[in-house]
Amino acid sequence: MRVLVTGIAGFIGSTTARALLDRGIDVVGIDVFSDYYDTEIKRRNIAALPQQRLTVIEGDLNALPLSEVLVGVDAVIHLAGQPGVRGSWGTQFDSYTRNNVEATQKLLEAARGSSSLRRFVFGSSSSVYGQATSYPTSEDTLTRPYSPYGVTKLAGEHLTTLYRENFGLPTVSFRFFTVYGPRQRPDMAFSRFFGAARQGEPITVYGDGLQIRDFTYVDDIVAALVAAIDADGELPPVMNLSGGSSVTVLEILDLVEKTTGMALNLTYLPAMDGDVTRTGGSATLVASALGWSPLVDIQEGLQRQFDWAQGR
Ligand code: NAD
Ligand code: UGA
């Protein structure tokens, strides 16, 4: 089996590639090594992978000859994109449309012409729901993004589904709920909290810290991606991947304090534009379609991320 992983140098992409390589699967990876965060981190993510059966193509999905790359590929796991809710305003939006919408359309066009492809998996986001109208939020809840980022993820998801409907491409989009664990992006909350605790620097809380997130451990996300490429037959077009941890940022900070054994110094800033007050997904659909449920709870997952960060 040969799998194309886009965004392979990133947090979720590199973790996914490791799981596939460990299963003896041939992996082709694409990444442009964007400078959204330190590219050295991305180089290290790639260098740490078992290199046998791995091919990494450095380039932009918008420019690469994707039809050629897809020859002989059985499944695509499309994780390349411009992440980050709070930075998606102003002139940054160009990067979001280019990397989340245009790049996805180009990949889907190429995938449409492939004779070998059995599954196309798109990494969508809980941000498509915005301030959700019900909890736990199920897939048929009104999508009403609250950030420009969410708009581009919803566009990518719609594109993915319409290639399925028009051309029979065997797609599935997973809406990931705030993912954490080893190799988490440095701009995300837990990375920042552990980093600040270690340096003895103040931790910035956006808003009152009472916003709730359904944090999801990265290995649980990867298990669902692997299950989707293993599965035969049709899958629902869109499924939530939510970890079941309905906790506030302040509760997380309590856990961080316990995990690190350090007294935290908190400073508060106004809530960030685009930041929703609550996410909480229903994982009922993915449980019935793939038998998936999250295995790692927030305490265990935080400890694992801390241990990993300590060892770097
Ligand atoms: P990441 O930034 O660590 O990884 C994304 C990778 O994609 C980066 O290495 C980047 O260089 C690459 N990339 C960006 N544009 C590209 C292009 N045009 N061509 C080739 N490569 C390109 O981010 P992540 O946290 O690993 O997220 C992976 C995917 O999952 C993203 O699509 C993101 O929107 C989605 N997602 C992430 C989370 C989360 O909590 N981390 C939650 C929901 C959805
Ligand atoms: C995350 C990812 O960054 C997005 O790419 C993804 O699409 C989204 O999850 C999702 O679930 O769809 P976010 O929930 O903002 O977005 O994740 P974090 O960056 O880990 O932030 C979690 C919470 O902590 C937010 O409310 C944020 O405001 C807060 N936070 C973050 C702080 O209070 N201080 C910080 O320094 C960082």
Query: What residue spans define the domains of the chain?
Result: 2-177+217-242+280-294
Q: CA separation (Å) from 166 to 145, 152, 158, 163, 170? A: 25, 21, 12, 5, 11
Nearest-atom index, ligand 2, CA of 177: 11
Q: Is the CB of 278 inside a 6 Å radius of any atom of ligand 2?
A: no
Mean pLDDT of 260-266: 95
Query: Tokens 């998606």, residue?
Result: 88
Catalytic residue among 149, 163, 180, 217: 149
Would you state the pLDDT for residue 80?
A: 99
Residues 80-91 pLDDT 10s: 999 999 999 999
Backbone angles phi, psi at 281, to 5 degrees: -100, 150
Q: Is the CB of 242 inside a 6 Å radius of any atom of ligand 2?
A: no
Mean pLDDT of 248-277: 97
Report the complex ipTM: 0.99
Q: CA separation (Å) from 282 to 91, 213, 217, 244, 306? A: 34, 13, 16, 8, 27
Using the predicted structure, report yes or no on whether residue 312 has a pLDDT greater than 80. Answer: no
123: Cα separation from own chain's centroid? 6
* Architecture category of domain 2-177+217-242+280-294 in CATH: 3-Layer(aba) Sandwich (3.40)
Nearest-atom index, ligand 2, CA of 180: 20
Contact 294, 220 (CB under 8 A): yes
Q: Which residues contact 36 (CB under 8 A, 6 or more apart)?
A: 82, 83, 84, 95, 187
Q: Is the CB of 204 inside a 6 Å radius of any atom of ligand 2?
A: yes
Using the predicted structure, report yes or no on whether residue 311 has a pLDDT greater than 90. Answer: no
Residues 192-220 pLDDT 10s: 999 999 999 999 999 999 999 999 999 99
Contact 233, 168 (CB under 8 A): no
Q: Which residues contact 58 (CB under 8 A, 6 or more apart)?
A: 31, 32, 33
Using the predicted structure, report yes or no on whether residue 125 has a pLDDT greater than 90. Answer: yes
By most ligand atoms within 8 Å of CB, the mutation choice from 34, 153, 178, 211 for ligand 2 is 178
Contact 76, 119 (CB under 8 A): yes
Q: Is the CB of 191 inside a 6 Å radius of any atom of ligand 2?
A: no
Mutual angle of helices 189-199 and 249-260, in 10-degree steps? 40
Give SS3 for 129: coil
CA distance 104 to 89: 20
Query: Tokens 């180089």, residue?
Result: 43
Mutual angle of helices 298-310 and 189-199, in 10-degree steps? 50
Is this structure's pTM higher than 0.90?
yes
Please say if 149 is a catalytic residue: yes
Cross-sheet strand order for the sheet of 245-248:
179-180, 212-217, 245-248
By most ligand atoms within 8 Å of CB, the mutation choice from 12, 127, 185 for ligand 2 is 127
Residues 221-232 pLDDT 10s: 999 999 999 999
Mean pLDDT over all residues of the chain? 98
Would you state the pLDDT for residue 303?
A: 97
CA 94–ligand 1 middle distance (angstroms): 15
